[in-house]
Chains A and B, each alone.
Chain A
Amino acid sequence: MTVTRADTPLRRFVADYLTSPLAVVAGLGLAVIVLLAVFAGQIAPQNPYDLGQITIFDGSLPPGELGFEGFRFWLGSDEQGRDMLSAMIYGLRISLFVSFVAVGSAVLIGLGLGLLAAWRGGSIEAIVMRTVDIQLSFPALLVALLLLAALGKGVDKVIIALILVQWAYFARTVRAAALVEIKKDYVMAARAAALPQWRILFGHVLPNVMPPVLVIATVQIANAIAIEASLSFLGVGVPITEPSLGLLIANGFDYLLSGRYWISFYPGVALLITLVCINLVGDHVRDILNPRMQS
């Protein structure tokens, strides 16, 4: 008689995830991208922000060319002589850093406020949800744009703007899911048994609220990356000293019309691939978690 391993939710999740080869490929791609970003210093052939390493004689070289000192610019160089490949890897790091931190914080805030609203109800819930509604009726990009116009440039300010723009999504989802959970019998029983509120909230309500949050989080990470890129492109995002992929693309705009497309093209492709991977992963995660959520 064979003994089957315990079927934990995590194992089921992994097993379900593996059913889509496309999502697996996307997931692996994402892992590679994250690794690239984390180990940028070790992987990138050149540190493009070390002024000692670049020279203007290497400026605007097309992809594949050899530079002044024999360094091969696989994806070309920009007008300052910076290696596009390296700039992209560092830019990836900034883009990912900003969005992960922003979304992570937004999740925490959203969790806190959403659980609070659902648990306490009454006027607290009304205030929180009205704020959420008003916030959500305006497009994120616009709010972020205007915020940054007031606050100025800087990585930290971009993160703050993104957090302010995204927390509402999470708060709403968390509250809706928490409400469903709180109305269930076992929570009422736990309350009747005078279990401490912490136990109920964190031990029972929270784990059941996480699946939809996870789904939204993947979408929002993609969103955050896209918004940050757009903001940087428009000139109100990250500063020139810490360029994200969006800023790199902006830099290349002027050279586009003269045919030096690579300065904008390759960072854009990198951005595209990152977002496609995140979206594919997010779609698949949502498909897996959905029927389960209804059960």
Chain B
Amino acid sequence: MLAYLIRRFSQAIFVMAVMATIVFFGLYAVGNPVDLLINPEADLAEQEATMRRLGLDRPVHVQFGYFLNGLMQGDLGTSFVHNRPALELILSRLPATLELAFLGILIAVGLGVPLGMIAGLRPEAPYSKLIMAGSVVGFSTPNFWQGLMLIMFFAVFLGWLPAGGRGDTIDVLGIPVSFLTWDGLSHLILPAVNVAIFKMSLVIRLTRAGTSEVALQDYVKYARARGLSPRRVIGVHILKNILIPVVTVLGLETGNVIAFAVVTETVFAWPGIGKLLIDSIGLLDRPVVVAYLMLTVFLFVMINLIVDIGYSLLDPRVRIKGDKA
């Protein structure tokens, strides 16, 4: 197990190194590096001074060295627009995105798994077909349009919920969270539902496929033959077997959720890292974009790693084989 962890970890570091290289040389190739790191509105003398200070007049490999050096120290440049370190800026917006993502996934799993199991246990029943039809519509609907429709319906026509923005926050361990206040929750619901619907459709489909397959297995019949209660048969024997693929996909999708939050945050004016990214792109605040990229790479690599470890914990058959490439 330890050898496996070490291998995966070094793979993760390798990927990050590759990404850092791609980002650096990609930016270098795409445009004048001066513009990328220095405010293009500064006058010529300032630009030259900054260039010298940042070592931009040095050869490429030296610059790359500086870049990596900065990376290790957590310095990813300074935002033009906000005049704060880009990394710090992003991290300050991260909690908003995270609470959105987690609530969305929670809803998706909390509703999706039971619905999928219901549909899987009795696939011929009319309500099962309804659930499946719903799931097709759910993941065919473009996310942003769905968000707009949610706003249109609940905020404009019905007036029950606010049309955007984040609500009041309370500090928990120094991190501002909004789901602990009524106002915060009312702002959080619509965007979280927006995030959840797509994922929920996926979860429903996965769970249903898994359940209908597992329910036919001999070990389920055997469990019933031993007089185990239906609750135990469904809740333990069936559930544990279908959770494995569901959790795996969900884990991989978590990264997606954070990425797609870009769309939801734009629609609902939610102050998370997604909205920050779009704004920064629009305002040509390149350091923030770079910082976002690096952070996302890091997050993804970490999530993949956690998912792989989690998978091997869940499925005992994988554990024994040890290394998974």
Contacts and interface: CB of A to CB of B under 8 A. Distances in A.
Interface of A: 134, 137-139, 141-142, 145-146, 149-150, 222, 226, 229-230, 233-236, 246, 249, 252-253, 256-257, 259, 261, 264-265, 268, 271-272, 275-276, 278-280, 283
B139 A230 contact: no
Nearest to B15: A134
Contacts of A253: 148, 267
Contacts, number: 103
Contact of A137 (B155, B267, B278, B304): B304
A276 B151 contact: no
B139 A279 contact: yes
A149 B140 contact: no
Contacts of A261: 152, 156
Contacts of B152: 256, 261, 264-265
Nearest to B297: A138
B259 A141 contact: yes
A141 B156 contact: no
Contacts of A146: 289, 293
Contact of B142 (A145, A150, A246): A246
B287 interface: no
Given A141-B262, A145-B277, 7 more contacts: A134-B18, A137-B301, A138-B300, A146-B293, A230-B142, A233-B144, A279-B139
B163 A257 contact: yes
A153 to B, nearest CB: 11
13 contacts: A137-B255, A139-B259, A146-B293, A222-B140, A226-B142, A230-B142, A230-B143, A256-B152, A257-B151, A264-B145, A272-B137, A272-B145, A275-B140
Contact of A230 (B137, B140, B144, B156): B144
- The 10 nearest A-B residue pairs measured at CB: A268-B145, A275-B140, A139-B259, A142-B259, A276-B140, A149-B281, A139-B256, A233-B144, A150-B30, A279-B140
B263 interface: yes
A226 B201 CA distance: 16
Given A141-B259, A234-B262, A276 B136 contact: yes
Contacts of B137: 272, 276
Nearest to A268: B145
Contacts of A137: 15, 255, 300-301, 304
Contacts of B163: 257
Chain B CB count within 10 A is highest, among A146, A265, A283, for A146
Interface of B: 15, 18-19, 26, 30-31, 136-137, 139-145, 148-149, 151-152, 155-156, 163, 255-256, 259-260, 262-263, 266-267, 277-278, 281-282, 289, 293, 296-297, 300-301, 304
Contacts of A276: 136-137, 140
B317 to A, nearest CB: 21
A257 B142 contact: no
Contacts of A145: 262, 277, 281
A289 B255 CA distance: 30
A134 B295 CA distance: 16
Instruction: Tell me if A's interface is mostly helix, strand, loop or mixed.
Output: helix
A275 B141 contact: yes
Contacts of B277: 145
A247 to B, nearest CB: 11
B148 A256 contact: yes
Contacts of A275: 140-142
A229 B144 contact: yes
B15 A249 contact: no
Nearest to B301: A137
Contacts of A142: 259, 262, 296
Contacts of A272: 137, 140-142, 145
A246 B282 CA distance: 18
A272 B145 CA distance: 9
A37 to B, nearest CB: 17
Contacts of A246: 142, 144
A139 B136 CA distance: 21
A141 B266 CA distance: 14
A271 B18 CA distance: 37
Contacts of B296: 138, 142
A50 B95 CA distance: 47
B245 to A, nearest CB: 16
Contact of A268 (B142, B262, B289): B142
A268 B136 CA distance: 16
Nearest to B282: A235
